[in-house]
């Protein structure tokens, strides 16, 4: 089971270039698509989900061209967009039963069994009679996953699923998604590095519609080992350091700026080596292509 994306490009009518010759190979498991807001992630997700057409390129799932056979893909697709609406005055159980009917589960007993199973699996069964308007952000995300899993999809797309979740809700979501990824191709689109670090065995970084990197998180970190350095500096010196070094990050620590740079050799000048992490991979990939 695999998804192959070949030379996908998309430019909107207003001239915005959303995708530029994007090619990816995605196998079973959780694949992280990492990039800043506006990088083209949502456009790519919508295109894979057959909700919009690319200008050029092809998408193959299990060897079949999905752009030519949209209905076949939709039968095996689960999709949780970044923003989705719910009917606030309807219970989770009632709405899931209704959505299951729309998705073709017409046998009443089968429909009830599927909905009960998903409510248990998303830890919402105890709240199944509660109106969705009273759900927390994390509960709504879990409901969104439940509706995306109604047809037992082979391909699951989740777009920014942890945005706005508190740490405990995020951890529960991580655990749940990791279970799903054992038997499904899952694409996790996010701008949160921690999501990819915790969940994904493979990943890509995208920005300005271009794929900057595709690798495993482990390999990507190993490839910049020994090249990341940090230093605490005065705030008024930031622009000077940006002219002299490849600054990939600038953060405050105890109220004072700490800059992180990429350098293929020891930079000296008070910089000390930093153990590279996935966040450094992300920042370096973005900085190196600007």
- pLDDT(98) > 80: yes
For residue 207, the model assigns a pLDDT of 95
Section 59-85 average pLDDT: 87
- Across the strands, what pairs with 9? 56
Q: Say what the pLDDT of residue 38 is.
A: 87
Chain segment 28-49, per-residue pLDDT in tens:
999 999 998 889 998 999 999 9
Is the pLDDT reported for residue 18 higher than 90?
yes
- Would you say residue 83 has pLDDT above 80? no
Q: Tell me the C-alpha distance between 79 and 199, whole Å.
A: 18
* pLDDT above 90: residue 86: no
Residue 187 C-alpha from the chain's centroid: 6
Q: What is the DSSP letter of 91?
A: B
Between CA 268 and CA 266 the distance in angstroms is: 6
- What is this structure's pTM? 0.87
Domain ranges of the chain: 2-215, 222-288
Contact (CB, 8 A) for 82 and 159:
yes
Lowest-confidence region among 53-67, 101-115, 169-183, 251-265: 169-183
What fold is seen in the domain 2-215? Rossmann fold (3.40.50)
Given a cut of 80, whether residue 151 has pLDDT beyond it is yes
Q: To the nearest 10°, the Cα dihedral for 109, 115, 121, 125?
A: -100
Please state, in angstroms and rounded to a whole number, the distance separating the CA atoms of residues 262 and 236: 21
Q: Which of 50-54, 86-90, 129-133, 223-227 has the lowest mean pLDDT?
A: 86-90
Q: Residue 163 above 90 pLDDT?
A: no
Q: For residues 36 and 254, which has the higher predicted lDDT (pLDDT)? A: 36
Beta strands in 42-120 (DSSP E): 56-61, 64-65, 77-80
pLDDT at residue 170, as a whole number:
80
d(CA 222, CA 273): 14
Place of tokens 């350095």: 229
- The residue written with tokens 């909107």 in the block is 12
Average pLDDT over the chain reads: 90
């Amino acid at each position: 089971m695999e998804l192959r994306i070949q030379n996908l490009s998309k430019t909107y009518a207003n001239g915005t270039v959303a995708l530029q010759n994007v090619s990816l190979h995605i196998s079973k498991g959780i694949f992280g698509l990492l990039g800043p807001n506006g990088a083209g992630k949502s456009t790519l997700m919508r295109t894979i989900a057959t909700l919009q057409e690319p200008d050029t390129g092809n998408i193959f799932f299990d060897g079949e061209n999905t752009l030519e056979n949209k209905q076949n893909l939709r039968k095996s697709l689960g999709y949780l967009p970044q923003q989705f609406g719910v009917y606030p005055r309807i219970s989770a159980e009632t709405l899931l039963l209704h959505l299951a009917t729309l998705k073709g589960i017409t046998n009443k007993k089968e429909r009830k069994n599927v909905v009960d199973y998903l409510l248990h699996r998303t830890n919402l069964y105890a709240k199944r009679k509660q109106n969705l308007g009273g759900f927390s952000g994390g509960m709504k995300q879990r409901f969104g996953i439940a509706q995306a899993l109604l047809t037992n999809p082979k391909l699951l797309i989740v777009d920014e699923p942890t945005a706005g979740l508190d740490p405990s809700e995020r951890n529960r979501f991580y655990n749940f998604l990791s279970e799903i990824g054992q038997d499904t191709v899952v694409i996790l689109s996010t701008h949160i590095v921690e999501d990819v670090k915790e969940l994904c065995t493979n990943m890509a970084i995208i920005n300005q519609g271009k794929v900057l990197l595709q690798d495993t998180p482990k390999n990507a970190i190993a490839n910049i080992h020994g090249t990341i350095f940090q230093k605490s500096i005065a705030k008024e010196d930031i622009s000077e350091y940006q002219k002299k070094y490849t600054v990939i990050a600038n953060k405050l620590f105890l109220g004072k700026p700490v800059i992180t740079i990429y350098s293929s050799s020891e930079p000296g000048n008070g910089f000390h080596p930093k153990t590279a992490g996935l966040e450094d991979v992300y920042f370096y990939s973005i900085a190196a292509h600007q």
